[in-house]
Amino acid sequence: MQLRCYQCSWSFGVGKDEIAAALEALQASGGTHYDAHCPRCKRANKISLEQLKQSTPRPRPSEKPTA
């Protein structure tokens, strides 16, 4: 996902692997935000859990057809 640093307006990408790891860590710790550090100014940009979830293709829920 692409982020824009709130501090220096630098655009940088966060990889799928990093997002997946962040999601796991947040769900394990009960956190609500992930700090993505800007590669330019090193500021932590908060990404909400919702944003993380939306940026990853979620596993298809195994829907059972009710026939």
Question: Which spans of this chain sit near Zn ion (rule: CB under 5 A)?
Answer: 5, 7-8, 10, 38, 40-41, 43
Nearer to Zn ion by C-beta: 11 or 27? Answer: 11
Instruction: Check: CB of residue 3 under 8 Å from CB of residue 45.
Output: yes
CA distances from 21 to 1, 8, 30, 35, 38 (A): 14, 25, 14, 12, 17
Q: Whole-number minimum distance, CB 12 to Zn ion, in Å?
A: 8
CB of 43 to Zn ion, least distance (A): 5
User: C-beta of 44: minimal distance to Zn ion in Å?
Assistant: 10
